[in-house]
């Protein structure tokens, strides 16, 4: 069962499918990308995990783990596009009107994932713990994939470590992979609206900025997706295909990362 949490000012919906945060609404306005085919899972699957991911992609905010990049075979185990965690059905528990817990046990690697999503005033706080349940060290990659409705920020920019990344105009697309030191990003739009992201850059030391502003006329977007994603990640986007990632967990060890999305102006007044 999917879970909706929040207040009359800010609310979110979390899905069992992929543990995805499918919606964050501030003042009744949706902040996250929602594709026209969101939730349309009928029909035959497409060959390969890249095509199938995009066939089913609804937008929202996914956790990409244990390999957040392209599909690969690592240690004889096939890893799907964007990582197993985003493909699995999670167990959800609503712990209060403003918080929920999501859990999943991966099978391609022996990792247990425990994730909480909380609404605190004008913030969405996501705290994730990953624990190695196996008898040997596990390597992994980690990325958070919040995709925003780019139209809300049209004409604005993304600020990362004081540097500005322009939001491209409608009809264009762009991708950047940048190292980060502070773990702070601000997405500035019109009318004074800004949305902040804050995370632990010691673990997630990169930020991917993906923009698809109705730029692709054919599959998978058909000029229908207007997306802006700021994605904290643990490794460069060109990380070798024969490795999961740059992080390691010893047997029984766990690592926790918190990421906070803050509405600074505009939508919750």
- The two tokens of residue 64 are 């990409």
The predicted structure's pLDDT at residue 238: 93
Q: Model-level pTM?
A: 0.95
Q: Residues in the chain, how many?
A: 269
> Under a CB-based contact definition with an 8 Å cutoff, are residues 248 and 187 in contact?
no
Q: How far is the C-alpha of 97 from the C-alpha of 239, rounded, in Å?
A: 40
Per-domain residue ranges of the chain: 3-263
Cα→Cα distances 201→124, 160, 182, 252, Å: 18, 12, 6, 23
Q: What is the biggest distance separating any 2 CA atoms in the chain, rounded to whole angstroms? A: 53
Give pLDDT tens digits along the chain (269 positions): 899 999 999 999 999 999 999 999 998 889 999 999 998 878 889 999 999 999 999 999 999 999 999 999 999 999 999 999 999 999 999 999 999 999 999 999 999 999 999 999 999 999 999 999 999 999 999 999 999 999 999 999 999 988 999 999 999 999 999 999 999 999 998 767 789 999 999 999 999 999 999 999 999 999 999 999 999 999 999 999 889 999 999 999 999 999 999 998 754 44
The predicted structure's pLDDT at residue 266: 54
Q: What class does CATH assign to 3-263?
A: mainly beta
DSSP per residue, 239-259: --TT---SEEE-TT-EEEEEE
The predicted structure's pLDDT at residue 94: 97
> Under a CB-based contact definition with an 8 Å cutoff, are residues 84 and 72 in contact?
no
The predicted structure's pLDDT at residue 40: 81
């Amino acid at each position: 069962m999917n879970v909706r949490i929040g207040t009359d000012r800010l609310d979110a919906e979390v899905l069992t499918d992929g543990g995805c945060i499918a919606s964050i609404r501030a003042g009744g306005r949706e902040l996250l990308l929602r594709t026209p085919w969101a939730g349309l899972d009928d029909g035959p699957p497409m060959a390969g995990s890249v095509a199938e991911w995009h066939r089913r992609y609804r937008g929202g905010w996914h956790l990409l783990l244990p390999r957040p990049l392209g599909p690969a075979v690592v240690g004889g185990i096939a890893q799907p596009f964007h990582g197993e965690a985003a493909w699995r059905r999670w167990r959800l528990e609503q712990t209060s009107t403003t918080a929920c817990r999501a859990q999943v046990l991966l099978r391609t690697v022996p990792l247990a994932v425990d994730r909480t999503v909380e609404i605190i005033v004008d913030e969405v706080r996501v705290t994730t713990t990953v624990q190695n349940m196996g008898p040997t060290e596990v390597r992994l990659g980690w990325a958070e994939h919040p995709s925003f409705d780019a139209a809300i920020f049209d004409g604005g920019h993304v600020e990362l470590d004081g540097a500005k990344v322009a939001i491209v105009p409608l009809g264009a697309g762009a991708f950047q992979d940048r190292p980060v030191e502070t773990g702070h990003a601000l997405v500035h739009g019109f009318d004074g609206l800004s949305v902040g992201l804050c995370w632990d850059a010691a673990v997630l030391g990169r930020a991917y900025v993906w923009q698809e502003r109705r730029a692709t006329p054919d599959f998978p977007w058909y000029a229908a997706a207007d997306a802006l994603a700021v994605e904290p990640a643990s490794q460069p986007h060109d990380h070798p295909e024969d490795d999961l990632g740059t992080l390691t967990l010893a047997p029984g060890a766990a690592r926790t990362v918190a990421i906070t999305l803050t509405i600074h102006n505009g939508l919750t007044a």
